[in-house]
Chain A
Amino acid sequence: MIVAEAKPIEEVLAMIDRYDKIILAGCKECVAVCAAGGEKEVQLLASALRTARKTAGREIEIREVTLERQCDPEYVEGIRGFAGDYQAILSIACGVGVQYMAEHYKTIPALPGLNTSFMGGSLEQGVWSERCQGCGSCVLHLTGGICPITRCSKSLLNGPCGGSAQGKCEVDPEIECGWQLIIDRLKALGEFEARFVELFPVRDWSTSRDGGQRKIVREDLKQ
């Protein structure tokens, strides 16, 4: 899923400072699962913003909505009926949701209430970790199912650098060395000898962000 976290409330308050009537829009997909932008977070943030503005002597009207998905035109259109009555849309979906709001409501400012962080999963209650960078050319079958581009801090493709120590990355002892994980996994699979010695050639990054904004067209699904 896409993992995001709330922006500091001071930053959000500064963003909405000139408005007194806004929509606060959550999303029931990834950001709800990672407890950053679902229905519950909409309620909590709305309440915190109202209190802060009341204390500052400038009350704010907030309309709370939580859409099924903010990355889908059908649901984004769901607020069409009343959007024009508000000065801004504060979205606590991922960056995709904020941009869909901006694209659909051309005269209403769309503001981000979250920092969209990464594609990852949960490790335990309250802990999420990055797994994929969406490089557009998956190599997981060659690296024991562990991504060198995401898990190695330097995205090295030919083994660990000289900074790997006791399974940890030189960048931060909290970060596991991605290549240590890959090596351990390849050994467990009995693939180490075959895979590790092979030279990984220079990569084509044009499938990644480096090729410009990406788009997938599925002719079989288009109407």
Chain B
Amino acid sequence: MKTESRLEKILDKGAFAVTSECGPPRGADPDVIREKGKLLKGVVDAANITDCQTSVVRMSSFASCLILKEMGFDPILQMVTRDRNRIAIQSDILGAAALGINNMLCLSGDHQRFGDHPQAKNVYDIDSIQLIMTVKKMRDEGKFLNDEELTKPPKLFIGAAANPFADPFEIRALRLAKKVAAGVQFIQTQCIFNLDRFAEWMRQVVDMGLHERVAILGGVTPLKSVGMGKYMKNLVPGMDVPDAIIERLKGVEKEKQSAEGIKICIESIQRLREMEGVRGVHIMAIEWEEKVKEIAEGAGLLPRPKV
């Protein structure tokens, strides 16, 4: 089933897609989203709104998506299964579709141990793959998880994440195959710093023919400094930052490190574009949204095609 998703249309057209993301504020100020939105306007095909990333309470993804929608974006609703059971999830899916959200990213979510409320109970009624199955069932069969019919199916373009850098490495392509079997249509990967390892994962994905069944968008993140590189390497779960990248940043003066980080990011995008099966890029400029345009421009991805 085709949806109204701009991202789906871009991918259908065969264009190299560009997405980015906005982290919502820890407060009720809609202008924070609007300001971030302005920085991404005309630069991306769709923008994710994270769902309490790293288990830190923020404005809801759903509400923030609507703010972006008002600005003319095609937002991607991120939803984690950590905080909602199947009743809340199905309810939010219907609400999102009713209000014109066309894309959803299905995630299990970071464990609450990392966040600002480590005392919380988690839910995990379903996992990320079962969330994909849930959206697909509601959309394509017009049924809830209990097999009862729903009145108007939610037309959502279904996405998920993949982390080629987590262990055990040898099952990472198989895990993607499970997501594909569950019905995922696009994938945004974990931040890619180790391009060789990513290329190896992509080779497995292509060998399995998965790239023809799901659009893979490589995730990239510009590093602002040596400190950020070390933080990502050592303290963020599932992140693989090779020493060579940190050494390269160390090799330039401190005030030029962020420019070097952007250069590395642009080079990564150029290499990703050449890889078989990579259909787009997901630029995660963490609290650095003002640089997304520069990166997209530098990588020759602007202007974005009209659909």
**Residues of chain A at the chain B interface (Cβ within 8 Å):** 153-167, 170-172, 177, 180, 183, 196-197, 199-203, 205
Contacts and interface: CB of A to CB of B under 8 A. Distances in A.
Given A165-B237, A180-B167, A157 B130 contact: yes
B171 A163 contact: no
Nearest to A161: B108
A167 B166 contact: no
Given A161-B166, A164-B168, A197-B177, A170 B130 contact: no
B247 interface: no
Interface string B78-89: 000010001000
Q: Which has the most chain B C-beta neighbours within 10 Å: A154, A170, A200?
A: A154
Interface in B116-164: 122, 124-130, 133-134, 145, 161-163
Contacts of B128: 156, 158, 161
B271 interface: no
A154 B127 contact: yes
Given A163-B111, A183-B168, A199-B178, 20 more contacts: A154-B111, A156-B128, A157-B130, A158-B128, A160-B167, A160-B168, A161-B128, A161-B238, A162-B163, A162-B190, A163-B166, A163-B237, A164-B238, A165-B167, A167-B167, A167-B168, A172-B113, A196-B174, A200-B129, A202-B86
The 6 closest A-B CB pairs, nearest first, are A162-B163, A170-B237, A163-B237, A158-B129, A162-B238, A156-B127
A85 B190 CA distance: 66
A171 B175 contact: no
Nearest to B238: A162
Interface in B71-120: 82, 86, 108, 110-111, 113-114
Given A160-B166, A163-B166, A202 B237 contact: no
Nearest to B179: A158
A165 B168 CA distance: 7
A72 B6 CA distance: 64
Q: Is the interface of A mostly helix, strand, loop or mixed?
A: loop
A201 B181 CA distance: 12
B167 A158 contact: no
Given A201-B130, A202-B134, A170 B238 contact: yes
Nearest to A177: B167
A205 B37 CA distance: 40
A172 B111 CA distance: 10
B66 interface: no
Given A156-B127, A161-B108, A197 B178 contact: yes
B178 A156 contact: no
How many chain B residues sit at the interface, stated as a range, is 35 or more
B178 A162 contact: no
B240 to A, nearest CB: 9
Contacts of A163: 110-111, 166, 237-238
B175 A202 contact: no
A156 B108 contact: yes
A172 B177 CA distance: 28
Contacts of A164: 166-168, 238
Contacts of A160: 166-168, 171, 175
A162 B237 contact: yes
Contacts of A166: 167
B210 to A, nearest CB: 12
Interface in B191-249: 237-238
B39 interface: no
Contact of A199 (B111, B124, B145, B182): B182
A140 B39 CA distance: 50
Contacts of B124: 154-156
A205 B146 CA distance: 13
Contacts of B167: 160, 164-167, 177, 180
Contacts of B108: 154, 156, 161
Nearest to A160: B166
A205 to B, nearest CB: 7
A167 B111 CA distance: 17
Contacts of A202: 86, 126, 130, 133-134, 145
B181 A199 contact: yes
A216 B288 CA distance: 57
A154 B168 CA distance: 17
A129 to B, nearest CB: 18
A171 to B, nearest CB: 5
17 contacts: A153-B111, A154-B111, A154-B124, A157-B130, A158-B175, A160-B166, A160-B175, A163-B110, A167-B167, A170-B238, A177-B167, A180-B167, A180-B168, A197-B178, A199-B181, A199-B182, A202-B145
